[in-house]
């Protein structure tokens, strides 16, 4: 057996195992954080998980539309405020749907 090859393989295996442990730990922490945020929104503002998901879909659709515009013939300048106009309808719709109180 080639001793340096075995030692190198063991080092790589240990590094990969520790990396996987960190990925799993981060995934669990993120899932718990999302759960806490959705639960707090549900208790505080009567916003359910479906409402949060719909808003994320609206914002993703607006972002996709903006990306399509920037990749077409029309390319907005970077310092022009119109670059974020795709976000305004989503924000206004979310504000209109809020039930305060």
* Predicted pLDDT of residue 37: 92
Burial class (CB in 10 A: 0-12, 13-18, 19+), 91: middle
**Alpha-carbon distance 39 to 45, whole Å?**
10
Residues 101, 76 within the same domain:
yes
Residues 28, 62 within the same domain:
no
Residues 52, 31 within the same domain:
no
CB of 52 closer than 8 Å to CB of 41: yes
Residues 57, 8 within the same domain:
no
Residues 101, 54 within the same domain:
yes
Residues 52, 37 within the same domain:
no
* Predicted pLDDT of residue 79: 58
Residues 36, 66 within the same domain:
no
Q: Is the pTM of this model over 0.75?
A: no
CB of 76 closer than 8 Å to CB of 82: yes
Q: Where are the alpha helices (DSSP H) in the chain?
A: 3-45, 49-70, 87-97
The range of the structural domain enclosing residue 5 comes to: 1-45
**Tokens at 4, concatenated:** 């340096």
Domain count of the chain? 2
* Predicted pLDDT of residue 5: 94
Residues 54, 30 within the same domain:
no
pLDDT of the chain along its 101 residues, tens only?
799 999 999 999 999 999 999 999 999 999 999 999 999 999 988 888 888 888 888 888 888 887 777 676 655 556 555 666 767 777 777 777 666 54
Residues 28, 69 within the same domain:
no
Residues 61, 24 within the same domain:
no
Spatial neighbors of 69 by CB under 8 A, at least 6 apart, are 76, 86
């Amino acid at each position: 057996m080639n001793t340096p090859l075995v030692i190198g393989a063991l080092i790589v295996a240990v590094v990969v195992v520790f990396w996987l442990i960190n990925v799993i730990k981060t995934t669990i922490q993120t899932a718990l954080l999302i759960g806490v945020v959705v639960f707090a929104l549900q208790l505080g503002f009567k916003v359910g998980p479906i409402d949060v998901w719909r808003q994320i879909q609206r914002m993703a659709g607006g972002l996709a539309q903006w990306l399509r515009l920037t990749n077409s013939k029309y390319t907005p300048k970077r310092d022009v405020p119109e670059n974020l106009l795709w976000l305004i309808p989503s924000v206004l719709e979310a504000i209109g749907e809020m039930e305060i109180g």
